[in-house]
Amino acid sequence: MSNSPLMPVYTPPPTDFVSGKGAMVFDANGKRYLDFLAGIAVNSLGHCHPKLVAALTDQANKLWHMSNVYQTELQQTLAAKWVSATFADYVFFTNSGTEAIEACLKLTRKYHFTKGKPEKIDIIGFDGAFHGRSYGGINAAGNQNYLNGFGPPLPGFKQCKFGDIEALLAMIDENTAGIILEPIQGEGGVRALEPEYLRALRSICNENDILLIFDEVQCGAARSGKLFAHEWADITPDVMAIAKGIGGGFPLGACLATEQASIGMVKGTHGSTYGGNPLAMAVGHAVFDEITQPEFLENVNSVANYLVQSLEGLKDAYPDIILEIRGKGLLRGLKLSIDPLIIRDLAFQNGLLVTVAAGNVLRILPPLIIDQGNVSEAISILDKCFASAQASQKTGEAL
């Protein structure tokens, strides 16, 4: 038994984090860290953004919770904002990404059921995908590490090779209900799908009455340099899960869908106690109003350019360690020849928070409000970490 009362599904370092401001966080000893992880793409506006603090504290003095059996204007108006900014006609609010995924999966099967095709239940997902930890989420992603030990896989889920159109076409049949994917895989190694591939998927779905489901929980909310990553391919999905960055740290997710795709979602078919709760809505409005400003996206793109240039510089300096720079906007990955945990841990010691992703990738997800100074600082810390990893590699010394 570990000496923590927390179920040991995570093993964090023994450092207590107590406060944050912008792109900085501080531990209980007052040590400062530059946060290029942002709670895994959650703290889109950094820590304690004054507008979010004001929105939350203001709402905390008014109304916390009502239940969706009553109407609250904040929910109506935030849904209207997301509808006006996207392909969607309807929004269903949730508290997390995985609940948003559940809503997407349920909506997809209900769509075909309502159209008189109850046998059309198969959801095709892709290698390396991550769709959260619910039974639906782990079955849609098909990652054995997350499925093992949790009973038989659910019927109606299929797994396709990442980025392979021929394999996908071979897998589609009259029971295919939906195709689910992240336009840029996060956990799977920061892998972006080509725009042509996404456009091909759109046509395949149109031709076969299959719903196209995008999981933009990680790559959405302005992180890729557009409000949503699929906008780079100039196509739209039928259904989309969003979360993480849209709440800026307050638990908030949503399932967005077209009117047509939502035909089965009538009174009583789905619900949530907390989804769309006034506190989440108040913060959600403040985040939406910030991340949809044109200047906001301009900053994401210009600082992302600077980040990529700086990462290219690092790659030139450590060509044997950094093999490839991946991703879009401020969702970046460095494919390494060494275990990325070595760099992550060295960075932590040096006051920089970053994470890893599948396939030997160091994952970089800073808050979207960072400036060039933050990038320069992060790069100089990473430089130091790569230098010491290289040095110990040469001397054969264990880190």
Ligand X SMILES: *Cc1c(COP(=O)(O)O)cnc(C)c1O
Residues that bind ligand X (CB under 6 A): 96-98, 101, 130-132, 182, 186, 215, 217-218, 243-244
- Closer residue to ligand X, CB minimum distance, 101 or 353: 101
What are φ and ψ of residue 17, in 5° steps? -90, 130
- Closer residue to ligand X, CB minimum distance, 101 or 375: 101
- Closer residue to ligand X, CB minimum distance, 254 or 379: 254
DSSP string, 309-361: HHHHHHHHH-TTTEEEEEEETTEEEEEESS-HHHHHHHHHHTTEE-EEETTTE
- Reported as half-sphere exposure (CB side, CA atoms, 13 A), residue 136 has a value of 17
- Closer residue to ligand X, CB minimum distance, 40 or 325: 40
- Closer residue to ligand X, CB minimum distance, 75 or 185: 185
Report, in Å, the least distance between residue 132 CB and ligand X. 3
Report, in Å, the least distance between residue 38 CB and ligand X. 12
Task: Copy the structure tokens of residue 213.
Answer: 């489901």
Token look-up 């320069």 returns 376
Q: How far apart are CA 18 and CA 182, in angstroms?
A: 33
Report, in Å, the least distance between residue 191 CB and ligand X. 12
Q: How far apart are CA 246 and CA 268, in angstroms?
A: 26
Residues 6+ apart with CB under 8 A from 239: 104, 107, 108, 178, 211, 212, 213, 214, 255, 256, 257, 258, 261
Task: Copy the structure tokens of residue 134.
Answer: 């619910």
Report, in Å, the least distance between residue 130 CB and ligand X. 5
Token look-up 């456009």 returns 199
Residues 6+ apart with CB under 8 A from 267: none
Report, in Å, the least distance between residue 330 CB and ligand X. 14
DSSP state of 248: B
- Closer residue to ligand X, CB minimum distance, 97 or 275: 97
Helical residues (DSSP H) of 177-268, grouped into ranges: 195-208
Residue with the shortest CB distance to ligand X: 97
- Closer residue to ligand X, CB minimum distance, 59 or 218: 218
Residues 6+ apart with CB under 8 A from 369: 22, 23, 44, 45, 46, 49, 299
DSSP state of 193: P
Report, in Å, the least distance between residue 246 CB and ligand X. 11
- Closer residue to ligand X, CB minimum distance, 143 or 310: 143
Task: Copy the structure tokens of residue 251.
Answer: 């638990």
- Closer residue to ligand X, CB minimum distance, 355 or 374: 355
- AA identity, residue 326: R
Facing residues of 90 across strands? 257
Report, in Å, the least distance between residue 216 CB and ligand X. 8
Token look-up 């966080």 returns 25
Report, in Å, the least distance between residue 220 CB and ligand X. 9
Q: In what order do the strands lie in the sheet with 122-126?
A: 90-94, 253-257, 239-242, 211-215, 176-181, 122-126, 157-160
Report, in Å, the least distance between residue 247 CB and ligand X. 9
Report, in Å, the least distance between residue 257 CB and ligand X. 17
- Closer residue to ligand X, CB minimum distance, 102 or 238: 102
Report, in Å, the least distance between residue 354 CB and ligand X. 16
Residue 24 to residues 30, 34, 203, 377, Cα–Cα distance (Å): 11, 5, 44, 12
Task: Copy the structure tokens of residue 191.
Answer: 């892998």
- Closer residue to ligand X, CB minimum distance, 98 or 360: 98
